[in-house]
Structure 1
Amino acid sequence: MKKLVVLTGAGISAESGLKTFRDAGGLWEGHDVMEVASPRGWQNDPELVLDFYNQRRRQLLETTPNTAHKAIAAAQEHFDVTIITQNIDDLHERAGSKQVIHLHGELLKVRSSEYDHLIYPWEKDLFMGDLCEKQRQLRPHIVWFGEAVPMMEPAIEEVMLADHLLIVGTSMTVYPAASLMQYAPQGCPVFFVDPRPNLGPGLRSGLHIISENATTGVPIALEHLARI
């Protein structure tokens, strides 16, 4: 069974109704990104940060996977599928995907603000005073700007083993995730699904661009991959 690695970003979840946080002005739900997604923001106003992610969590729990999520999950019947996502939602898992690497953390988990290995599932609101087992404040299990991306190395290893690479819902301009395509083996077919592709110069050979949104483009890409 050939290995299919799928890189996904905000565009695939947006079609389920999840807001992509950042608007054209660079604000996240009216907040400067550094207020709600940085260690400095957490230090300055933790209650604001908690409220921001509480709202995101409530929205996620009312959202369901779309046909793109489901098509990728169904591809497990024909491929060894690993998903590497920049998204913090669990829509891939709810669609049935078994192997998902979350580069930027998970909204339905929290962790100790001091002991990073203490991670807990969490579906309710998180407040100041909610503590880990070592009596330290819990924080969202999110990789904030300026923090290390601990799942980057496992993600690179998966891409290096890929027979096929599918990129969906991401502009491939945010690093370090944008560098992942560079690790695909020579000759590995790459399908890029985006309604407004803008990959710039230096495109690799074997790149197939499908100028559609995720729910339309993913089934098209998977149909092509099944014939390779």
Structure 2
Amino acid sequence: MASISQSQLRSFKAALKEAKKPVALAGAGLSAASGIPTFRGAGGLWREHDALSLATPEAFSMDPSKVWQFYHYRRETCLRASPNSAHRCLAKLLSPSQRSKYLPSSGSLHLITQNVDGLSARAGTEIGEDHVTSGGILEMHGSLFRTVCTSCNDVRPNFESPISEGLRGTEDPSLEYRETPLEGLPRCENLTRWSRSIQPCRGLLRPGVVWFGESIPALDEIYEILEGCDLIMVLGTSSTVYPAAGFAGQVKMNGGRVAVFNLECGPQDRIHADWLFQGAVEELLPLALGIETQ
């Protein structure tokens, strides 16, 4: 069971009450208790493939079947998972009807998440605040539950399981890989005018995530938010991969304060953190915030 010293707890809660522009930065550790594996997974492999090698535009262009099967596996894993107590804590902080109990000086909270699992937004749905909490969530690496058409550029949410019939059953990584024909991969249903008729586009969809080599669309907005941030809570992230690894340092440089919640704390955390809460995020965050999540 996680524990926090009373002096740390009093100091942190006092800072919460004073914070005018708080920000939460979430990494893979936020979703660990929900059973979501890290991006690399056990041993860094999906089947016999390095997961990192599948997360590029070039990989999708060369073998869309293999890439879609990998992302279908990840989608199905996340759909079976449920938000944990840390997600539910953040949902309450994002809710205008509940936030004032914990952040009385703040009119908003921004959650910058590096996760693509959609669990933070689903936690808002659980407490009946999905239309509100989703507006305060910036998914800097995109979402597994968003698709982008490679033909007409249509972007839309998609929670279908399976996302296409051609991918049904391929989510089991223990099975031998078999290529899914192009016509069996996810296709765009955006209505488009063709000649004199309106028909579905049927272009090949891609996952709505940010791949290696692609720019982060929300980055300018994130930097603008961090400029005014006076308290950042760093949740379950190793602070080793940039640009997110530099966010706490930016807040600190601008005179803000930093609270780190993580199983393992690295050198950067120890340099920047005003509060260092070492342990499972899903245990420490409710304790530090004083939020009941059951």
Q: TM-score range by the shorter chain?
A: 0.7 to 0.9
Please say if residues 260 and 269 of structure 2, whose CA atoms lie closer than 8 Å, have aligned partners that are also in contact: no
Asked if residue 203 in structure 1 is aligned to residue 271 in structure 2, the reply is yes
Q: Which residue of 1 aligns with 2:185?
A: 128
SS of the residue 2:260 aligns to: strand
Please say if residues 46 and 70 of structure 2, whose CA atoms lie closer than 8 Å, have aligned partners that are also in contact: no
RMSD (Å), alpha carbons: 2.2
What letter corresponds to residue 110 of structure 1 in structure 2?
Answer: T
Q: Which residue of 1 aligns with 2:149?
A: 112
Q: Which residue of 2 aligns with 1:154?
A: 221
From the superposition, tell whether residues 10 and 200 of structure 1 become closer, same or farther in structure 2 (CA, over 3 Å).
same
Q: Which residue of 2 aligns with 1:90?
A: 118
Please say if residues 39 and 51 of structure 2, whose CA atoms lie closer than 8 Å, have aligned partners that are also in contact: no
Asked if residue 39 in structure 1 is aligned to residue 57 in structure 2, the reply is yes
SS of the residue 2:146 aligns to: strand
SS of the residue 1:48 aligns to: helix
Task: Give the counterpart of 2:85 among 60, 67, 70.
Answer: 67
> 2: CA distance between counterparts of 1:190 and 1:218?
14
Select between 18-27 and 81-90 the one with higher mean Cα deviation.
18-27
Structure 1 segments unaligned to the other structure (5+ residues)? 224-228
Asked if residue 101 in structure 1 is aligned to residue 138 in structure 2, the reply is yes
Task: Give the counterpart of 1:55 among 73, 88, 94.
Answer: 73
Please say if residues 34 and 40 of structure 1, whose CA atoms lie closer than 8 Å, have aligned partners that are also in contact: no
> 1: CA distance between counterparts of 2:91 and 2:22?
11
With normalisation by structure 1, the TM-score equals: 0.87
Please say if residues 84 and 103 of structure 1, whose CA atoms lie closer than 8 Å, have aligned partners that are also in contact: yes
1:215 Cα deviation after fit:
0.7
Q: Which residue of 2 aligns with 1:2?
A: 20
> 2: CA distance between counterparts of 1:115 and 1:221?
47
What letter corresponds to residue 185 of structure 2 in structure 1?
Answer: M
What letter corresponds to residue 189 of structure 1 in structure 2?
Answer: R
> 2: CA distance between counterparts of 1:25 and 1:41?
20
1:28 Cα deviation after fit:
4.8
1:123 Cα deviation after fit:
1.4
Q: Which residue of 2 aligns with 1:226?
A: none
What letter corresponds to residue 115 of structure 2 in structure 1?
Answer: N
Please say if residues 35 and 42 of structure 1, whose CA atoms lie closer than 8 Å, have aligned partners that are also in contact: no
> 2: CA distance between counterparts of 1:169 and 1:29?
26
What letter corresponds to residue 267 of structure 2 in structure 1?
Answer: L
> 1: CA distance between counterparts of 2:186 and 2:234?
40
Percent identity (aligned): 33
> 2: CA distance between counterparts of 1:72 and 1:138?
31
> 1: CA distance between counterparts of 2:203 and 2:63?
17
What letter corresponds to residue 158 of structure 2 in structure 1?
Answer: W
> 2: CA distance between counterparts of 1:153 and 1:183?
14
From the superposition, tell whether residues 129 and 169 of structure 1 become closer, same or farther in structure 2 (CA, over 3 Å).
closer
Please say if residues 82 and 119 of structure 2, whose CA atoms lie closer than 8 Å, have aligned partners that are also in contact: yes
SS of the residue 2:271 aligns to: coil
> 1: CA distance between counterparts of 2:269 and 2:37?
30
> 2: CA distance between counterparts of 1:29 and 1:172?
28
Task: Give the counterpart of 2:211 among 127, 140, 144.
Answer: 144
Task: Give the counterpart of 1:16 among 34, 55, 63.
Answer: 34
For 1:211-226, list aligned pairs within 5 A: 211-223=278-290
- How many pairs align? 221
